[in-house]
Structure 1
Amino acid sequence: MAEYLIFFNQQWVGDHDAAWFASRGPLAKAVVEEMKDAGVLIFAGGLVEEVEEAFSADATSGTVVITDGPYVETKEYLGGLTAINVPTLDEAKVWAGKVAEACGWPQEVREFK
């Protein structure tokens, strides 16, 4: 079995009205329930959209420094993620496709080392 991270950047979502987003919620929840039923779900969730609510922890100086905001100023930031544990890469691709279809925007997939 291998663990994979399926994720998206907030900027990949695109501009949609509230009704469109409301229509995606049940679809995404159904895929998460399908993953639970299949026994492959480790975790799934969306992140707070307001990146200024993030904080950073940095210990590279030898002392932990906590600062408000993202670690690096960037135009793209993580919007949500799903971690799965599946036997094959092909199965990870199937689940990533289901997540992308339910959410309505692209997903990237990476295997955990």
Structure 2
Amino acid sequence: MSLYIIYFNQQWVGDHSPEWFASRGPMARAVVEEAKTSGVLVAAAGVDEDASRAFTADATSGALEITSGLFAPKEQYIGGLTVVDVPDDETAIMWAGKIAVACGWPQQLRRLY
């Protein structure tokens, strides 16, 4: 089995009505429940959209510096992620597709090493 991360950047979500978002919630929860039942779900979560509650740990200068806020520009932050443990790329692609359909926006899929 291999771990894969399925994620999206917040700006990929787009502008939608509150009703549209409300309609997506049950679909997304159903996919997460299916992944749990299938035994492939490691973790799934949305990321807090309030960038003022983010922190950055940066040691690139040789000394650790902790700052509040995002490291990358706001439009580049992760909006949510799912980690699955599946046997192959094809199975991971299937789960990424299910999540993309349920959420209504693109998902990026990458293998974890």
Which TM-score band applies after superposition, normalised by the shorter structure? over 0.9
Question: Contact 2:100–2:107 at 8 Å: present in 1 too?
Answer: yes
TM-score between both structures, scaled by the size of structure 1? 0.94
Alignment correspondent of 1:35 = 35
The Cα of 1:50 is off from its aligned counterpart by 2.0
TM-fit CA distance, 1:76: 2.0
Which structure 2 residues correspond to residues 58-97 of structure 1 after superposition, within 5 A? 58-97=58-97
Q: CA RMSD in A?
A: 1.2
Between the aligned partners of 2:72 and 2:50, the Cα distance in structure 1 is: 15
Residue 48 (1) aligns with residue 61 (2):
no
One-letter amino acid of the structure 2 residue matched with residue 69 of structure 1: G
Q: CA deviation at 1:104?
A: 0.5
Q: CA deviation at 1:49?
A: 1.2
Amino acid at match of 1:30: A
Structure 2 residue ranges without an equivalent (≥5): none
List structure 1 segments (4+ residues) > 3 angstroms apart after TM superposition. Answer: none
Q: Which moved more, 1:57-66 or 1:95-104?
A: 57-66
Mapped contact 2:6–2:110 kept (Cα < 8 A) = yes
Aligned length, in residue pairs: 113
> Corresponding residue for 2:11?
11
Q: Which amino acid aligns with 1:91?
A: T
Once residues 39 and 55 of structure 1 are traced to their aligned partners in structure 2, the CA distance between those partners, rounded to angstroms, is 32
Q: Kindly provide the amino acid, as one letter, of the partner of residue 100 in structure 1.
A: A
Residue pair 2:42, 2:83 contacting (<8 A) in 1 also? yes
Once the two structures are superposed, residues 32-70 of structure 1 have per-residue CA deviations (whole angstroms, 9 ceiling, x without a partner) of 000000000000000111223211011233432210101
Unaligned segments of structure 1, at least 5 residues: none
The 2-side partners of 1:84 and 1:65 are apart by 32
Moved more, 58-67 or 26-35: 58-67
Matches of 2:36 and 2:14, distance apart in 1: 28
